């Protein structure tokens, strides 16, 4: 019979996803069949499963840590924001429609059967299910109909460990304050707490751990120091992509308002010969960039307007005149063409707009969504990746497709080869292609084997948690489900 334990946080970005990944690797190394599970996630950084479904990128990393293939049941409800007030709803890997936030509040209880079904499927094949919450259970205004935190924990009978983030300050208030606002039934689900992202001498917080335990009655399960190599793991939030290297070749990435699948950047951050600069709204694209990389977008037309509103279209044209390189991935590829049209309003209000005009192609959105893992060639070098997009792109520059998938040309490029686009995500994870592409930009591409580095980092994370968390006690707290 499987056991389950849920990791919830006092807020977003306290490290829940990373802790679940590290714990999954640690317990899997003990011989347990571990499965990660997140009832509801909100992210435009999606991963593709073998059957063509979509889940949050964090759950794909957790599956990898557990040594199993990603499954749509590891994240049965995925919300992909399309605007400030609406999102596409993915249920068990498939698009179920789009809803405004106000409508979702009334509809989310309807997803509990799918959540419980997926959880049962995972439990049937596991010794241990590690469940990740979303946001914070202290958002009691969201408790009615909740399927992401205490609503799920109570429905499934899964005990909870609450995690606070000391790096942002006020961790005692985070944990004790959560204890103060939760209803008695929800409080009864919490078995212990942990404090994450500590810097300095841990003895200095002994009294703090004691204070939290005294005020809450929860068992202290670990004071986890900052994991310095965390940046080497795929990030779920674009804001995590701070510059790590100061290489001579600069890659500038405009931070789109609906940026999606920015894990494309992860392998580039490990290359010492380049620097990846995320350009926030309101700042110009740097004039000394060698490559401007336009990433994916969940709402291409909206982000095309956003791109122009920042003046980046002018900066990009100047970059092109200077002989700079441009690469568009998925939505970024669509923006580089002559036009983008969404006649049925699939990604937002129906409409059309002129593209950036750097590729002689046009894109029309259509309801059919292309989702799946892909294997092929890029510049004649083997690559693996995935597609996850709507829209069909056609035009003369497609005749210079530089990617081949299933024997067919894919993508487009300008006559001089300096402007390129493709629908293939994850292309830089293929070491041979990445090194060859960067070498043509003049960068020394001598970074580590990307996939091997991710594996080494997951092992190091598991070792880190084994040193600083009470793993035997955590396992003992997991309840049979």
| Predicted pLDDT of residue 160 | 98
Token pair for 134: 């979303």
Cα 88 to Cα 71, 275, 304, 371, distances in angstroms: 19, 33, 19, 15
pLDDT for 242 beyond 60? no
Percent pLDDT > 90 in the chain is 83
Cβ atoms of residues 53 and 72 within 8 Å? yes
Examine the pLDDT at 104 and tell me if it is beyond 80.
Answer: no
What local confidence, expressed as pLDDT, does residue 326 receive? 98
Q: pLDDT, tens digit, for every residue of 41-77?
A: 998 888 999 999 999 999 999 999 999 999 999 999 9
Q: Does the pLDDT of residue 87 top 90, yes or no?
A: no
The pLDDT assigned to 368 comes to: 86
Residue 447 has pLDDT above 90, yes or no: no
What was the pLDDT predicted at 238? 53
pLDDT exceeds 80 at position 212: yes
The dihedral built from the CA positions of residue 139, 145, 147 and 153, taken in this order, carries a sign that is positive
Is the predicted pLDDT of residue 244 greater than 70, yes or no? no
Q: Describe the crossing of helices 57-66 and 16-28 by its angle, rounded to 10 degrees.
A: 20
Rounded CA-CA distance 27/313 in Å is 49
Q: Which residue has the higher pLDDT, 85 or 301?
A: 301
- pLDDT category at 263 given cuts 50, 70, 90 is confident
pLDDT tens per residue across span 273-330: 899 999 999 999 999 999 999 999 989 999 999 999 999 999 999 999 999 999 999 9
Q: Above 50 in pLDDT, residue 479? A: yes
pLDDT at 236 (0 to 100): 67
Q: What is the pLDDT of residue 114?
A: 95
For residue 107, the model assigns a pLDDT of 80
Q: How far apart are CA 34 and CA 69, in angstroms?
A: 11
CB burial class (10 A; 0-12, 13-18, 19+) of residue 371? buried
- Round to whole Å and give the CA distance between 55 and 417: 34
Nearest to 60 by CA among 51, 76, 72: 72
Q: Is the pLDDT of residue 451 over 90?
A: yes
pLDDT at 397: 97
Tell me how crowded residue 110 is: count the other CB atoms within 10 A of its CB. 11
Taking all residues of the chain, what is their mean pLDDT, rounded to a whole number? 93
pLDDT at 241: 47
Cα distance between residue 243 and residue 279, in whole Å: 11
In terms of Cβ atoms closer than 10 Å to its own Cβ (0-12, 13-18, 19+), residue 214 is: exposed
| DSSP assignments along 66-92, one per residue | HTS---GGGSSEEEEESSSSEEEEEET
pLDDT of res. 367: 86
Indicate which residues carry an active-site annotation. 330, 425
Q: Between the CA of residue 49 and those of 24, 92, 143, 423, what are the distances in Å?
A: 19, 11, 30, 17
Residue 55 contacts residue 75 (beta carbons within 8 Å): yes
Residue 315: its pLDDT value, please? 98
Share of the chain above pLDDT 70, in %: 98
Structural domains for the chain: 3-231+456-480 (3.40.50.300), 249-443 (3.40.50.880)
């Amino acid at each position: 019979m499987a056991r389950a334990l849920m990791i919830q946080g006092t807020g977003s970005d306290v490290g829940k996803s990373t802790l679940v990944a590290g714990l999954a690797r640690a317990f899997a190394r003990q011989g347990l069949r571990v499965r990660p599970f997140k009832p509801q996630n909100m992210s435009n950084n999606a991963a593709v499963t073998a059957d063509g479904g979509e889940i949050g990128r964090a759950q794909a990393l957790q599956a990898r840590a557990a040594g199993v293939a990603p499954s749509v049941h590891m994240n049965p409800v995925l919300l992909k924001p399309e605007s400030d007030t609406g999102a596409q709803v993915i249920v068990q890997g498939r698009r179920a429609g789009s809803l405004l936030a106000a409508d979702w509040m009334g509809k989310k209880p309807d997803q509990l059967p799918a959540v419980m079904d997926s959880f049962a499927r995972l439990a049937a094949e596991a010794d241990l299910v590690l469940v990740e919450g979303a946001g914070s259970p202290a958002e009691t205004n969201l408790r009615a109909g909740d399927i992401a935190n205490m609503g799920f924990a109570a429905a499934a009978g899964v005990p909870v460990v609450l995690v606070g983030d000391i790096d942002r300050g006020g961790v005692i208030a985070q944990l004790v304050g959560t204890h103060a606002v939760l209803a008695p039934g929800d409080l009864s689900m919490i078995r212990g707490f942990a404090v994450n992202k500590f810097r300095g001498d841990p003895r200095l917080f002994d009294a703090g751990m004691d204070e939290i335990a005294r005020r809450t009655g929860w068992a202290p399960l670990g004071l986890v120091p900052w994991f310095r190599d965390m940046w080497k793991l795929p990030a779920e939030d674009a804001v995590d992509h701070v510059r790590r290297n100061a290489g001579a070749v600069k890659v500038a990435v405009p931070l789109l308002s609906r940026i999606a699948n920015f894990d494309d950047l992860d392998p580039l951050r490990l290359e010492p010969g380049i620097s990846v600069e995320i350009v926030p709204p309101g700042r110009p694209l740097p004039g000394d960039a060698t490559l401007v990389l336009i990433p994916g977008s969940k709402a291409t037309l909206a982000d095309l307007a956003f791109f122009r509103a920042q003046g980046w279209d002018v900066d990009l044209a100047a970059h092109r005149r200077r002989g700079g390189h441009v690469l568009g991935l998925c939505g970024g590829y669509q923006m580089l063409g002559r036009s983008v049209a969404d006649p049925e309003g699939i990604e937002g209000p129906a409409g059309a707009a002129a593209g950036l005009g750097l590729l002689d192609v046009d894109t029309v959105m259509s309801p059919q969504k292309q989702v799946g893992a892909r294997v092929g060639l890029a510049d004649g070098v083997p690559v693996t990746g995935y597609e996850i997009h709507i829209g069909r792109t056609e035009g003369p520059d497609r005749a210079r497709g530089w990617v081949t998938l299933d024997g067919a040309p894919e993508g487009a490029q300008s006559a001089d080869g300096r402007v390129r686009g493709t629908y293939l995500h994850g292309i830089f994870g293929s070491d041979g292609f990445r090194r060859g592409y960067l070498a043509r930009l003049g960068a020394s591409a001598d970074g580590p084997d990307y996939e091997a580095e991710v594996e080494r980092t997951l092992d190091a994370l598991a070792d880190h948690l084994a040193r600083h968390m009470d793993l035997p006690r955590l396992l003992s707290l997991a309840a049979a489900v």
